[in-house]
Amino acid sequence: MRPLLRDREVRPTVEMVEATKAKFCELLRLRRSTALIGLHDAKHIKEKVNFPGCGPLQKLGLIVMQICNDAPDKPMLCSSFARVVIVFWAGFETAKVSVPRADPRLNGGKLPLRLHPLQQESQDSMTRDAHLDGEHLVIPPQTTAVFVEPLADPK
């Protein structure tokens, strides 16, 4: 690692450092604004978090994490969203990921997913390009995209 750190050809530019800082701060704002991302209780994590698509057939470099809010008849953990789907994509090309099914015992699966409002306004144009295309989430190269499903109107 030391030779790489000494190599001036691979040193980050000031612009790269600023972009990384902005992205990190954006992710912190996302976590602070979205209660489902910051679950603290082990029971809630076990009940509400799953990783669809994991296993022997999992696409290399792809992790999909889904967090569902409580069932409508229970106190909600998040007042804004029924579920959150976070896609971590390390590949160098755009990925299409099937929209995961929501746990029928919990909240979610009634309305379409959309890119988190904070990421819709991201300084990173690649992040802003993540979107829903029918039954697929489209993820730009080397992007972590957070999709949310709003709570359905109880009426």
Check: pTM over 0.85? Answer yes or no.
Answer: yes
Is 17 in a helix, a strand, or coil?
Answer: helix
Query: What is the per-residue pLDDT across 1-42, written as a single tens digit (0 to 9) for each?
Result: 788 778 888 888 899 999 999 999 999 999 999 999 989 899
Query: What is the per-residue pLDDT across 63-110, written as a single tens digit (0 to 9) for each?
Result: 999 999 887 778 888 888 999 999 999 999 999 999 999 888 777 888
Q: How far apart are CA 28 and CA 38, in angstroms?
A: 10
Rg (CA), the chain: 17
Query: What is the per-residue pLDDT across 131-144, written as a single tens digit (0 to 9) for each?
Result: 999 999 999 999 99
Q: Which residues contact 140 (CB under 8 A, 6 or more apart)?
A: 89, 94, 126, 127, 129, 130
79 phi/psi in degrees, rounded to 5: -85, -5
